[in-house]
Amino acid sequence: MKKWMLIPAVFLLILIIWIFTKPGGAKIDQSLYQPQTELIKKGNIKVEVSATGIIEPINKVEIKSKASGLIEEMTIEEADIVKKGDLIARLDQRDTKNTYDQSVADRDAAEANVEFSESDFERKKELLERGLISVAEYDAAKLALVDAKARLVQAKINVDNNDIRLKDTIVRSPINGVILTKDVEIGQIISSGISSVSGGTLIATIAEMDEVYVKADVDEVDIGRIKPGMDAIVIADAYPNQVFKGKVIRIAAQAKVEQNVTSFEVTIQVQNLSSILKAGMNTAVEILVADKKDVVLVSNEALMTENEMQQEMIKLNMLGNQNKKENTGEKKNRTANRSGNRTKEEQTDYSDTYRRGVIIKDGDKYRIQLIKAGVSNFDYTEVLDGLNEGDQIVYTYFSRALQSSEQFRERMIQRSTMQSGLRNSQGSN
């Protein structure tokens, strides 16, 4: 087949492609687009943010000993309730007790020496006044008294220090709480928490559990709606039938990313007077964002961006005019004017808060109306401005399954037409 004979076949192919791709060449299938109307009403809306969290103590203390030594007595077990001042552990006191006793003896001797020096000084003073001793002897007696008093001060300090060391061998609870962990046993030698480079041996961990924290990970999509002071409901996995009430007290400033999911840690304070919530328990959390009564509501399906509303207007006009004959160019122009482009009279100078809107149906006409949205849940959005109770809005459901079927059918028709044209061209050759 010569090259010039291919020209008709190529021209036919171009013509078919132009017919199916030219603007306005395709018509909308009414089975794909189903207009829905909705009457704006007032109602109640409740918005909650769901998350999962872990219970943590508010005040958790790691118990260590200031003294080193062998544990001789230990009276606690895990989960025991303790009061402030209760015995946790007692270390071997023999060395510290001996040192303390020696310091007490030294103090007593220092006190006796001060009494002797004071008496000797008074005698020397009287003798000096009578001219029986020299000034040098009087000065020596005065110096001896000052030295004795200094030794007494030092002895008292040693007694106080050794008393502290002796008391440090007895470890007591610094708070009211529950024993979370017991980390040593009787007979174990522990190191001091203040003199050891390693920080000392951990004896036990105690936590106050009358109030607890729930650390919940909230998705970044929802974090902007949460504020400190909001009420929250906590349900522990261990007690699915019990509800614990709490309040949001802190929102993390830094996000964390796990498995490509960005979340923020929200801290919720929960009353636990019954002490049944345990540290480390998993919980479900519902944070109450809003609970509004008798407000204007619009369904989320009806809310669209301006571009989406423009497209919806085109579909609505196509549906309304598809079965009518378009006889004149003037009629076509009228249809184009109703394609969703708002006139200057309809356009409003909205602020950035008016970013979505609806299509209002007024008789047989449609118009775009931007709204100021408030809180939103899965079904409805609160309307702060832009809509009134009784307004009728319209939107279309779009069937992607039917669209796919229609597109497949059109492709098959195009392929069949193209193949038929090529066969005719070859046959003519």
Domain 3-45+296-412 has what CATH class? mainly beta
pLDDT of residue 241: 92
How far apart are alpha carbons 273 and 225 in whole angstroms? 30
**Per-domain boundaries in the chain:** 3-45+296-412, 93-168
Distance (Å) of CA 149 to CA 112, 154, 428: 10, 9, 134
| pLDDT tens by residue, 182-240 | 999 999 999 988 876 778 999 999 999 989 999 999 999 999 999 999 999 999 999 99
Q: What is the mean pLDDT of residues 83-101?
A: 94
How far apart are alpha carbons 170 and 187 in whole angstroms? 15
| pLDDT tens by residue, 273-313 | 888 999 999 999 999 999 999 999 999 888 888 888 888 88
Distance (Å) of CA 61 to CA 53, 57, 64, 79: 22, 10, 9, 14
Burial (0-12, 13-18, 19+ Cβ within 10 Å), 390: exposed
Q: What is the mean pLDDT of residues 122-146?
A: 92
CB 352 within 8 A of CB 370: no
pLDDT above 60: residue 246: yes
pLDDT above 90: residue 5: no
pLDDT of residue 274: 83
pLDDT above 60: residue 249: yes
pLDDT of residue 46: 92
Dihedral sign for Cα 225, 230, 233, 234, please.
positive
The superfamily CATH assigns to domain 93-168 is Helix hairpin bin (1.10.287.470)
| pLDDT tens by residue, 363-391 | 888 889 999 998 888 889 999 999 999 99
Return the minimum-mean-pLDDT range out of 65-79, 146-160, 304-318, 362-376.
Answer: 304-318
pTM of the prediction?
0.61
| pLDDT tens by residue, 399-422 | 444 444 455 556 555 555 554 454
Say how far residue 225 (Cα) sits from the centre of its chain. Answer: 11
pLDDT above 90: residue 343: no
